[in-house]
């Protein structure tokens, strides 16, 4: 049977558009009670029994026997050997990607990750100092979704932030190590690595064990167990975000070759059957061309079945009244990846308020951003771009407010604080301010 | 019976210091299963039945009957009337505080909340645009801990960020409204307010009801129900942080009048019996003077009982070998509020890596920062300053990465992306990049 790319065809002029659109967008993170309970148990066991519990879970879930957690540690020599053993093409590509990702995050640190302060008219110093976290853990999925690019995207911003210790956790089911992942860890400056995965890896990082050091923050994507564990330790340690399925939204004015747009939609759909690929376009004839291109190009792809399922389940080609309306709909979706596949990308960009990353113009296929353009590929999914941001240097820094009040400043500020503190019934606050007043 | 201030007396030279210190610091957020279940029910009910459920819970928990949620809305006229009805001293103090808080957060936005971009040598545009959230909810505790200053500290950064809609939720048990809270909402630019509290307020903001609009992020402190509800909706909406009891750490070199330090310690201890006040000082005689001052000053304070309980349960006066050692211990605690009560505050500040806010010099009592110095008083507690930051303009903004690759840039980037995508087994990603290569 020939595979078909069968995304839903919607039109904003249709009377049923709102309900069709809502049905396509609907997705909710499964809150599987059974998973939650098992994760709670794993966290409790690792907190209580440390290394011994980690070894048991690793043997059970990853079929990997070890006499000690130290045996699960990846040595720097092993990381370097993986790097040196790559083909020249792979080594060069990985090195080029790491260099660009580092250079972008250095610019980011310069733009928004610097300490700042000023003195007001009373001589009061106010500001914030920005400092790196002491130690972070990055989780790297293993098995079928082992992405070396994710190692770069998590470790490099931490390194640029100045985090002295970066601990990588990567499951290696059956002991099978991915050389590209190890090589990426070498290039990205991972300090220590362990072949531990799942909720037990998150637990070890959050609580610390005799062998695995406790970290201050855990970043990186993972399966439902990892996501549940991260959510559960949130507060004891920092976490980045809880990622949902990947999404792409293409805003097209009809000026890009239809094959390009079709392949861009596929490049999200191939991640996962739950991934979402949406095209918004005011040109019905162009939408037909993209649909034809999809059916022509689909069979040549190894992951055609996943793509077909993703598109028929969650994909959509949406005919809009105008590019302006397309922008409004995009804002309602707040997509993870947003391509403006237009000859005038800068005309539409200012209208787009919510997205993880915006790719401007026909040459900026999302795939370049995923690997090597420089910006981070860890982006808010499932509409969370309404309130959250790409992973960045700022996720590996924290801010401390600085306040230095002069004797003179304490006179005016003290009177204000005293009135307000008494209004709140906090007399010790008031008295502390009043003690600094000159008689 | 005369109340005594009886913090633990520790010394770093003691053989039992490490265990005594660990015992004092120990605090863990209660994970009360009964509260969690009730909160889960409230969230589910409000998600399902909207306004009707909100009205029922408000009647039950806040003894406040209303025929509709619209009746629970605070009008702008009511907020303004509360402001106009304050005493001149209170109105001026609140206005002065709001002005300084706004001016600090404007400086913060300028320093670290601006969009940025650059073009690399290939002509590729890279950067991030920074935009405000569309709509946020701020939770303001009612009843015994109703703090108008918290209204300013939550709403003003949102307003400075450019958030167009700020929805305030404040419980008013028995219908009792706090005029200072309402006046602060007026000054801080709150768009809409409702007298709804508890988990039902968080639920209404996170899910939206017929009357309460769904928001993108919820900030502000609350009791165990509010904290549990915030943690549960985290991911559907953004949240700020889960706050624990308040803390102060004073690093003293003995140059500040002992009464001042004693009162500063009290000003945290008076918040809550679980609040923590710690003094670190290398001068044993000075510690004695502070202890004497505490016992002398305690009886004159209305909240003396709370202070005494907080100090005896969690307070500590710690004699250190040196100021350097005091700084190291402070870093292990990562306190919410850190006073450098020293004649040389700038000598010690660079040694302090983790704190919510640092108050430099004897005149900078924490109380000035709580009310009116300008920086935010919503700060990371319970050691979370290791990885998190004061509430700020950045909490009400999000970032969108921008990438525009030129045709020329697509040639080099495309080759790199193609190699890496094939290494990850993602052929559609590879093909999308390859389609942009010139033949």
Known binding-site positions of A for NAD(+) = 139, 200, 223
Query: Long-range CB contacts (< 8 A, 24+ apart) of B330-335?
Result: B330/B249, B330/B251, B330/B280, B330/B354, B330/B355, B333/B25, B333/B247, B333/B249, B333/B278, B333/B383, B334/B380, B334/B383, B334/B384, B334/B385, B334/B386, B335/B247, B335/B248, B335/B249, B335/B278, B335/B385
B111: its two tokens: 């320093």
Q: What letters, b where the CB count within 10 A reaches 16 and e where it falls short, cover A315-342?
A: bbbbbbeebeebbbbbbebbbbbbbbbb
Looking at residue B27, its pLDDT comes to 74
pLDDT of A1 over the 60 cut: no
Tens of pLDDT along A344-390? Answer: 999 999 999 999 999 999 999 999 999 999 999 999 999 999 999 99
Looking at residue A158, its pLDDT comes to 98
Looking at residue A31, its pLDDT comes to 66
Looking at residue B145, its pLDDT comes to 67
Judging contacts by C-beta atoms under 8 Å, the chain B residues touching residue A108 are: 116, 128
Smallest CA–CA separation between B145 and chain A, in Å? 8
- Which of B129, B367, B400 is closest, CB to CB, to A417? B367
Averaged pLDDT of chain A: 95
Helix residue ranges per DSSP H, B113-177: 148-161
> Is position A354 annotated as part of the catalytic site?
no
| Nearest-Cα residue of chain A relative to residue B125 | A360
> Which of the pair, B258 or A142, is modelled with greater confidence?
B258
- When scoring A164, A183, A248, A363 by the number of chain B Cβ atoms within 10 A, the one with the most, hence best to mutate, is A363
Q: What's the complex ipTM?
A: 0.95
Judging contacts by C-beta atoms under 8 Å, the chain B residues touching residue A428 are: 263, 266-267, 269-270, 301, 303, 307
Looking at residue B223, its pLDDT comes to 87
Looking at residue A29, its pLDDT comes to 61
Tens of pLDDT along A33-67? Answer: 888 899 999 999 999 999 999 999 999 999 999 99
pLDDT confidence band for A397 (50 / 70 / 90)? very high
Q: Which of A105, A207, A337, A377 is catalytic?
A: A337
- When scoring A368, A385, A392, A409 by the number of chain B Cβ atoms within 10 A, the one with the most, hence best to mutate, is A368
Looking at residue A245, its pLDDT comes to 87
Looking at residue B29, its pLDDT comes to 61
The tens place of each residue's pLDDT in chain B, 439 residues long, gives 577 889 999 999 999 999 999 999 887 665 678 888 999 999 999 999 999 999 999 999 999 999 999 999 999 999 999 999 999 999 999 999 999 999 999 999 999 999 999 999 889 999 999 999 999 999 999 866 678 999 999 999 999 999 999 999 999 999 999 999 999 999 999 999 999 999 999 999 999 999 999 999 999 988 889 999 998 999 899 999 888 889 999 999 999 999 999 999 999 999 989 999 999 999 999 999 999 999 999 999 999 999 999 999 999 999 999 999 999 999 999 999 999 999 999 999 999 999 999 999 999 999 999 999 999 999 999 999 999 999 999 999 999 999 999 999 999 999 999 999 999 999 999 999 999 999 8
Q: For residue A22, count CB atoms less than 10 angstroms from its CB and return exposed for 0-12, middle for 13-18, buried for 19 or more.
A: exposed
- Does B178 belong to an annotated binding site? no
- Which of A388, A401, A421 is closest, CB to CB, to B356? A401
Contact B423 A90 (CB under 8 A): yes
B433: its two tokens: 């990049």
> Is position A106 annotated as part of the catalytic site?
no
Quick check: B194 and B212 in contact, CB under 8 A? yes
Looking at residue A242, its pLDDT comes to 80
Quick check: B209 and B69 in contact, CB under 8 A? yes
Looking at residue B305, its pLDDT comes to 95
Judging contacts by C-beta atoms under 8 Å, the chain B residues touching residue A357 are: 400-403
Stated as kind and residue range, the H or E segment containing B33 is: helix B33-49
- Which of A97, A302, A403 is closest, CB to CB, to B416? A97
Q: Which of A247, A270, A336, A366 is catalytic?
A: A336
Smallest CA–CA separation between B254 and chain A, in Å? 16
- Does B26 belong to an annotated binding site? no
Looking at residue A34, its pLDDT comes to 87
- When scoring B97, B426, B430, B437 by the number of chain A Cβ atoms within 10 A, the one with the most, hence best to mutate, is B426
């Amino acid at each position: 049977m020939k595979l078909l790319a069968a995304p839903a065809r919607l039109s904003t002029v249709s009377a049923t558009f709102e309900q069709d659109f809502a049905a396509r967008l609907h997705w909710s993170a499964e809150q599987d009670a059974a998973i939650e309970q098992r994760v709670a148990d794993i966290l409790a066991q690792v907190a209580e029994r440390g290394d011994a519990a980690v070894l048991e879970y690793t043997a059970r879930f990853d079929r990997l026997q070890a006499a000690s957690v130290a045996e699960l540690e990846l040595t720097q020599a092993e990381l370097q050997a993986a790097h040196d053993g790559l083909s020249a093409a792979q080594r060069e590509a990985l090195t080029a990607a790491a260099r660009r990702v580092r250079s972008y995050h250095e610019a980011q640190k310069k733009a928004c990750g610097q300490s700042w302060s000023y003195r007001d008219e009373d001589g009061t110093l106010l500001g914030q100092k920005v400092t790196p976290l002491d130690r972070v853990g990055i989780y790297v999925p293993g098995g079928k979704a082992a992405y070396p690019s994710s190692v770069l995207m998590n470790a490099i911003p931490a390194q640029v932030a100045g985090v002295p210790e970066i601990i990588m956790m990567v499951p290696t089911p059956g002991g099978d190590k991915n050389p590209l992942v190890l090589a990426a860890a070498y290039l990205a400056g991972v300090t220590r690595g362990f072949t531990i995965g799942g909720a037990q890896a998150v637990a070890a990082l959050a609580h610390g064990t005799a062998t695995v050091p406790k970290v201050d923050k855990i970043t990186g994507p993972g399966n439902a167990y990892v996501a549940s564990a991260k959510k559960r330790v949130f507060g004891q340690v920092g976490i980045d975000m809880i990622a949902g399925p990947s999404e792409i939204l293409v805003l097209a004015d009809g000026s890009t070759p239809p094959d390009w747009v079709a392949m861009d939609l596929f490049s999200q759909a191939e991640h996962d059957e739950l991934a979402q690929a949406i095209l918004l376009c005011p040109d019905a004839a162009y939408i037909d061309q993209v649909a034809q291109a999809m059916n022509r190009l689909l069979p040549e792809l190894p992951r055609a079945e996943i793509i077909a399922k993703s598109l028929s389940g969650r994909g959509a080609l949406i005919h809009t009244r105008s590019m302006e309306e397309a922008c409004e709909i995009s804002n309602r979706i707040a997509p993870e990846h947003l391509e403006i596949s237009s000859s005038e990308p800068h005309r539409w960009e200012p209208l787009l308020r919510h997205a993880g990353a915006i790719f401007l113009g026909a040459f900026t296929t999302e795939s370049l951003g995923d690997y090597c353009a420089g910006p981070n590929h860890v982006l808010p999914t499932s509409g969370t771009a309404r309130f959250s941001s790409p992973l960045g240097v700022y996720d590996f820094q924290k801010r401390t407010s600085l306040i230095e009040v002069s004797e003179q400043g304490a006179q005016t500020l003290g009177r204000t604080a005293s009135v307000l503190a008494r209004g709140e019934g906090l007399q010790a606050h008031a008295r502390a301010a009043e003690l600094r007043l000159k008689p």
